[in-house]
């Protein structure tokens, strides 16, 4: 993705005892979000946490998702009206409250 684009990161903290269904997340949740956001979504990635900085330490996040948009406005206009439907799908795969970050792509 190129400089100046907007990246929205959804980070799921890796707390002991929480549940996270990676299969559901990578198939049904991705399908839902992709369909609802439509053309505003310029790309997306999902990662599964393996470890922390030392390979023996636990991953700070069980999963990380990143969505790319051309502008903050196109994120807000596409996500805003669909927030309830997207957030309403969370209990289907996790009981974690994600950390959300809006960033500008520098490199």
CA dist 8 and 101 (Å) reads 6
Whether the Cβ atoms of residue 77 and residue 16 lie closer than 8 Å to each other: no
Q: Does 6 bind its own copies (CB under 8 A)?
A: yes
Q: Does 90 bind its own copies (CB under 8 A)?
A: no
Whether the Cβ atoms of residue 12 and residue 59 lie closer than 8 Å to each other: no
Q: What angle do CA 44, 48, 28 make, to 5 degrees?
A: 55
Task: Among 32, 36, 46, 90, indicate the residue that binds its own copies (CB under 8 A).
Answer: 46
Q: From residue 12 to residue 41, what is the string marking binding to its own copies with x (rule CB under 8 A)?
A: ----------x---x---x-----------
Residues numbered 54 to 83 that lie near its own copies (CB under 8 A) are: 55, 59-61, 64, 72, 76
């Amino acid at each position: 993705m190129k400089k100046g684009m907007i990246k929205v990161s959804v980070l799921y903290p890796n707390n002991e005892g929480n549940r996270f269904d990676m299969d559901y997340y990578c198939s049904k949740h991705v399908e839902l979000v992709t369909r609802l956001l439509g053309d505003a979504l310029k790309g997306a990635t999902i990662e599964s946490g393996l470890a922390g900085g030392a390979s023996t330490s636990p991953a700070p996040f069980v999963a990380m998702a990143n969505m790319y948009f051309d502008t903050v406005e196109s994120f807000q206009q596409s996500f805003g009206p669909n927030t309830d439907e997207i957030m309403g799908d969370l209990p289907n795969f996790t009981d974690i409250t994600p950390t959300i970050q809006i960033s500008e792509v520098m490199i």
